[in-house]
Amino acid sequence: MTTTTRWRALTRHNLFWPVAVLVALLLVNIPFTPDFFAIHMTDGHLYGSLVSIVLFGSPLILVAVGMTLVIATGGIDLSVGAVVAITGALTCSYISDQKDQDALAGVLLAMGLGLLAAVVCGLWNGFLVARMGIQPIIATLIIMVAGRGVAQLITDGQIITINSEPYKLIGGGYWLTLPFSIFVVAAVVAVTVALTRRTALGLLVESVGGNAEASRLVGIRSMRIKIMVYVFCALCAGIAGLMISSNTSAADGNNAGLWIELDAILAVVIGGTSLLGGRFSIGGTVVGALVIQTLTTTIYTIGVPTQTNLVFKAAVVIVVCLLQSPKFRAKVFGARAKTTAPATPAAAPAEPAPKMEVS
């Protein structure tokens, strides 16, 4: 009895299904790569599939975390991919112009410059959405289209290769035997969680997304909040841009972060945040992003023929979404649940049921 109730409470938890899918996907790899979970030391750092999932998934996690807040306000940001490209391009082109590419000051300045550009993009998006009242999808489409042009303008259409050890650290380096990017992601996620849950920002964001007019009438400065989340999202995309360009030590204005916005949105939704705005879950988003990255890695390792990559991806996305849909679960598993546990409803006490699980 207690185990069944605990199990039911667990399955009701909003992270249960995404995590279950993540675990399932990881397990799928075992028959194909028996030592999939093995991690060993190579060249003084940890090496293994799990490490590379986190390493290559880092930019997606970052972008998706930023995207979560935007979506929570009822918006959407299509420009993140372009921002990734601009940031990487600007930073790399600045570094490549330096005489000593290893000089820390120069690298920091370059990164600052790149992130500044990202913030400017975010401000512009925020301005269009919050101030001008333009629909987010179209407001951010502008930078999505023009931004890549700007990135290519900066790189002159070429791939800029740099050779800077300090810059390499962010996206490709290791620290304490772990990929440095894990620490960056952890820091950004921690800051985001702190910012939204330790302060009232999360509440206000959810309120704006849940009912914009009501929020205005309780005196929430929704314009400011919206601008803030777009800037934050762009900043996250900017950091992801640094990471992507640092990972390969090259800035590719055309391909860096291509279609990352779709994956990010997908991650947010898999994580349980509604695209209509309102309630959001950063933890869910991180899991969602890991699901997507694991899926990508799985496609590479289990030897799916290239032409069926997308079909495979579509199938997984559909399965994840179906599993997450309470309606689907009720229809498919519902019948069985009723027959196996008929005692539970009858035994339900007349007094109010136990308090619901709170995240």
Of 309, 167, 192, nearest in space to 244 by CA: 167
Question: How far apart are the C-alpha atoms of 77 and 310, rounded to whole Å?
Answer: 23
Site for another protein in 237-256 (CB under 8 A): 244, 247-250, 252-256
> Which residues 6+ apart lie within 8 Å of 93 measured at CB?
154, 155, 160, 251
How far apart are CB 99 and another protein at their closest, in Å? 19
11 interacts with another protein by CB under 8 A: no
How far apart are CB 61 and another protein at their closest, in Å? 15
Site for another protein in 293-312 (CB under 8 A): 296-297, 299-303, 306-312
**Residue 108 or 165 with smaller CB distance to another protein:** 165
- Of these, 17, 21, 49, 290, which contacts another protein (CB under 8 A)? 49
Q: Which parts of 160-221 fold into alpha helices (H)?
A: 165-172, 180-193, 201-210, 212-217
Angle between helices 260-270 and 309-324 in degrees, nearest 10 = 30
Q: How many residues bind another protein (CB under 8 A)?
A: 113
Interface map 197-216 toward another protein (x if CB under 8 A): -xxxx-xx-xx--xx-xxxx
Which pair of tokens denotes residue 218?
Answer: 């309780």
177 interacts with another protein by CB under 8 A: no
With residue 161 as reference, give the H or E element that holds it.
strand 159-161
| HSE toward the beta carbon, residue 139, CA cutoff 13 A | 21
Site for another protein in 87-146 (CB under 8 A): 128, 132-135, 137-139, 141-143, 145-146
172 interacts with another protein by CB under 8 A: yes
Cβ distance 60 to 188 under 8 Å?
A: no
**Near another protein by CB under 8 A, which window of 61-69, 96-104, 185-193, 323-331?**
323-331
339 interacts with another protein by CB under 8 A: no
**Residue 112 or 342 with smaller CB distance to another protein:** 342
